[in-house]
Amino acid sequence: MEDIVNALALFANYVAVPATAYGAQLALGALGVTLIFGILRFANFAHGEMMSFGTMATILVTWGLQDAGIGLGPFPTALLALPVGILAAITMALVVDRTVFRFYRRQRSNPIVFAIVSVGVMFLLAGLVRIIIGPDDQSFADGARFVINAREFKELTGLEEGIAIKQTQIITVVVAGAVVAALFWFLQKTRSGKAMRAYSDDEDLALLSGISPERVVAICWIIAAALAAIAGTLYGLDKTYKPFIFLQILLPIFAATILGGIGQPVGAILGAFIVAFSEVMVTYAFRKFLAYLGPQDWAPDGLVQLLSTDYKFAVSFIILVVVLLIRPTGIIRGKVIV
Amino acid sequence: MSFLSATGMTGGYGAGADIIHDCTITVEAGEIAVVVGPNGAGKSTAMKAVFGMLGLREGKVLLDGEDITQMAPQDRVPKGMGFVPQNRNVFVSLTVEENLEMGAFIRKDDIRETKDQVFSLFPILAEKRNQPAGELSGGQRQQVAVGRALMTRPRLLMLDEPTAGVSPIVMDELFDKILEVAKTGVAILMVEQNARQALEIADHGFVLVQGRNRFTDTGEALLANEEVRRSFLGG
């Protein structure tokens, strides 16, 4: 019996806890992508770099606060700086929309043109980030590291395996939960939120109803940019901030968006957790876990690891390809990328 | 002067050929005007022209005496025009109630009273108010579409084939509701495939052929007209 509990603790420590935090970060990213697709009807490749840009702004302000000796005690100072990061991302998104995307909207360009344009915006933002903060890793997390560490957990429960929960993981899940709740409240209950859903449903009829397209588009960018800044900052706090990671993270985010059903906010969250758990589980070595469950002194010879962690992005890729082949509309029937 | 007076309308889509020629449609407040005619006669096009969805090369559209010929469709809604397109006339992913709320988007005042009026006109919608409109039957969807347009309290309600694809029973029911709406003083302009039934409830009928007015008379007179019956009503 104790072996089973130990196995579960091991699983929780190495799979469930990190995957939940990662899933929450992906969910915030995927929500932004799915909203943009629902309203502007294109796949926004610049979303990853928008996350990076917002995070960079947060980091710069965090450093300033740290130098000034302003902090949040046991909590990371970055939480205090995050609103500035969000504002920076929103400003950037609105400026890009005004100067770039609006032109193509007026031309009534094909969605594929928008997608390619967003790739250009992606490179532009990536360059800007590297000019401002440089291409290197940046650490900006401070405050207490663990809510509970493995040793404390073991002493507390008397188990052989400990569960360590980082503070950033708790913050990630709590912040993501609050943001998602606020977003759904906005979409379901407010006039502007309903107008966004109506616009996403049928542009022409929304226009006939007096809903202003430019206003809906602006609100959509504001929300997507805010989500991006929050997602990027949480990801950076949980791991570290690496500018190059935001190109790679597009893959799991798009996989989550498409898996869940494009344009479906609930689907984006569902897809994000499926992708996160798949990625972590496929790259986790189950040897010790199985050893606990088997008879005494029994353990498999190999690591029982399906894929090396180097290949974790292959998981998103496989999910993406399989979904597009088998169910292009995603789990919750969404739009199909053209 | 009629409440709606669209006279001498000539035009087509974009730079394409003219579809309607010197076409005139008028509606009085509280009356039902029906546009009928064979397929491809330009019935829907004439209605879209009234609503400003295509550029007119000639002719004028006056609403309550005001010239609105150059006005964009979305600007005509606050002027008192309600339009129910033939297809895609409800937000399928929004609930029935949200559809009505979006219909009233331009209104800043309390919409509850209007919503209650729509619900008492279409009791089934009150029952299904929390269901997504996309899950309703064709006839119920048409009721949502009409209800959505009524939310701005239009003085002119335009319906593009409201009974397309619904059963004869539902069609009769819809026509009854349209009569009820007209009784509240709203002018109604309707394009219909089911010409005979539509003319029965119409105060005025406009028979279009190849984009031109062919017959214009009261509904009753058109139904009694031998030539109209033979050519357009199937005997």
Determine the Cα–Cα distance for residues A180 and A176; give it in Å rounded to an integer.
Answer: 6
Q: Using alpha carbons, select from B69, B43, B145, B48 the residue that is nearest to residue B103.
A: B145
Determine the Cα–Cα distance for residues A152 and A149; give it in Å rounded to an integer.
Answer: 5
> Which residue is associated with the tokens 């935001």?
A246
Q: What is the pLDDT of residues A302-330, one digit of tens each?
A: 888 888 888 888 999 999 999 999 998 89
> Which two three-digit tokens encode residue A50?
């928008």
Strand-pair partners of B156: B81, B187
Determine the Cα–Cα distance for residues A259 and A273; give it in Å rounded to an integer.
Answer: 11
Which residue from A minimizes the CA distance to B93?
A201
Residue A226: which residues within 8 A CB-CB, separation 6 or more?
A86, A89, A90
Portion 199-228 of A in contact with B at CB < 8 A: 200-202, 204-211
Determine the Cα–Cα distance for residues B214 and B204; give it in Å rounded to an integer.
Answer: 14
Q: Using alpha carbons, select from A97, A63, A52, A58 the residue that is nearest to residue A243.
A: A52
Q: Is B74 on the interface with A (CB under 8 A)?
A: yes
Determine the Cα–Cα distance for residues A121 and A124; give it in Å rounded to an integer.
Answer: 5
CA-based R_g, chain A, Å: 21
**What class has domain B1-71+187-235?**
alpha beta
Q: How many CB atoms lie within 10 A of CB A4?
A: 10
The whole-number pLDDT of residue A299 equals: 75
Instruction: Let me know if residue A119 belongs to a domain.
Output: yes
> Which two three-digit tokens encode residue A16?
């469930």
What values do phi and psi take at B62, rounded to 5? -115, 130
Q: What is the pLDDT of residues A192-212, one digit of tens each?
A: 999 999 999 998 899 888 898
* pLDDT reading at A159 higher than 90: no
* pLDDT reading at A298 higher than 80: no
Instruction: Let me know if residue A133 belongs to a domain.
Output: yes
- Contact across the interface for A209 and B73, Cβ inside 8 Å: no
pTM: 0.89
The whole-number pLDDT of residue A162 equals: 87
Q: Using alpha carbons, select from A50, A18, A23 the residue that is nearest to residue A260.
A: A23
Instruction: Let me know if residue A332 belongs to a domain.
Output: no
Residue A326: which residues within 8 A CB-CB, separation 6 or more?
none
Q: Is B130 helix (H, G, I), strand (E, B) or coil?
A: coil
* pLDDT reading at A338 higher than 60: no
The whole-number pLDDT of residue B14 equals: 80
The whole-number pLDDT of residue B166 equals: 86
Instruction: Let me know if residue A336 belongs to a domain.
Output: no
- Contact across the interface for B85 and A205, Cβ inside 8 Å: yes
- B/e letters for B164-183, b = 16+ CB within 10 Å, e = fewer, are eebeeebbebbbebbeebbe
Number of compact structural domains in chain A: 1
Instruction: Let me know if residue A39 belongs to a domain.
Output: yes
Distance from CA of B22 to the nearest CA of A (A): 27
Q: Stretch A277-293: mean pLDDT, rounded?
A: 88
Q: Which strand (E) or helix (H) includes residue A232?
A: helix A213-238
Question: To the nearest 10°, the Cα dihedral for A91, A181, A194, B100?
Answer: -160
* pLDDT reading at A337 higher than 70: no
Question: To the nearest 10°, the Cα dihedral for A275, A277, A283, A289?
Answer: -160
CA-based R_g, chain B, Å: 17
> Which two three-digit tokens encode residue A1?
């019996």
Report the relative pairing of strands B187-191 and B156-160 from DSSP bridges. Answer: parallel
Q: Assign residue A311 the CATH number of its domain.
A: 1.10.3470
Q: For residues B58 and B52, is the Cβ–Cβ distance under 8 A?
A: no
The whole-number pLDDT of residue B235 equals: 59
Q: What is the pLDDT of residues A49-108, one digit of tens each?
A: 999 999 999 999 999 999 999 988 889 999 999 999 999 999 999 999 999 999 999 999
Q: What is the pLDDT of residues A17-32, one digit of tens each?
A: 999 999 999 999 999 9
- Contact across the interface for B77 and A201, Cβ inside 8 Å: no
Instruction: Let me know if residue A331 belongs to a domain.
Output: no
CB-closest option in B78, B88, B101 to A205: B88
> Which two three-digit tokens encode residue A71?
């902090």
Q: Using alpha carbons, select from A128, A98, A103, A101 the residue that is nearest to residue A117.
A: A101
Portion 12-51 of B in contact with A at CB < 8 A: none
Dihedral sign of CA atoms B189, B194, B195, B197 in order: negative
Q: Is A35 on the interface with B (CB under 8 A)?
A: no
pLDDT band at A287 (very low <50, low <70, confident <90, very high): confident
The whole-number pLDDT of residue A336 equals: 67
List chain B residues with pLDDT less than 70: 235
> Which two three-digit tokens encode residue A324?
């597009």
